[in-house]
Amino acid sequence: ALVTGAGPIGIMVALAALAGGCAKVFISDLVDDKLGVAAAYDGIEPINVTRDNPAEVLAAATDGWGADVVFECAGAPRSVQSALEAAAPAGCVVWVGMPPDPIPFDLVLAQSKELRMETVFRYANMYDRAIALMASGKVDLKPLISETFAFADSIAAFDRAVEARPTDVKIQIKVAEG
């Protein structure tokens, strides 16, 4: 599988793919720091798109075939195209990322590969499954937490999140002791 976007959603999708049976998950992004967090998990292979083309990396790893499943989690026009290019013929692309504006889409490429496509409204109807997956112990999300703030420091936490530091994956606010 390939996941485009190594933010918190992309990394969690990669972990869910591994927990669901994928032997190896490639994850692509522009930021080495975020890729490093993802690569710390067994079974996740990082691809920095400023240096490597995900479709070429996947082709090399699969004898020219490509990824059976691609999860597009970045929502950026280039990563949408990358998802289509990296998918194997008759593969599936799952659209998780939500672009802020309409984007161009290479329909002919998708048709020529006979790709199946699924859309996901990221948080709708997913809480029960996500909580069950965490409770199963199959995924450890603690490495994704870059810093934890007390509830009284919520404004500072949001200020920190707005900074969008390349080393930050997820900022957490602790609501209550327990």
Question: C-alpha angle 102/106/107, rounded to 5°?
Answer: 100
User: Helix count (H) and strand count (E) of the chain?
Assistant: 7, 8
Q: Would the pLDDT of 4 be above 70?
A: yes
Q: What is the largest CA-CA distance in the chain?
A: 55
Per-residue pLDDT tens for 42-82? Answer: 999 999 999 999 999 999 999 999 999 999 999 999 999 99
Per-residue pLDDT tens for 141-155? Answer: 888 898 999 999 999
Where along the chain do its domains lie? Answer: 2-136, 142-174
CA 123 to chain centroid, in Å, comes to 14
Q: How far apart are CA 45 and CA 39, in angstroms?
A: 6
Q: Would the pLDDT of 122 be above 70?
A: no
| pTM: predicted TM-score of the whole model, two decimal places | 0.88
Asked if the 2-136 domain carries CATH number 3.40.1190.10, the reply is no
What does the block give as tokens for 145? 């937490």
Per-residue pLDDT tens for 22-47? Answer: 999 999 999 999 999 999 999 999 99
Per-residue pLDDT tens for 99-121? Answer: 999 999 999 999 999 999 999 88
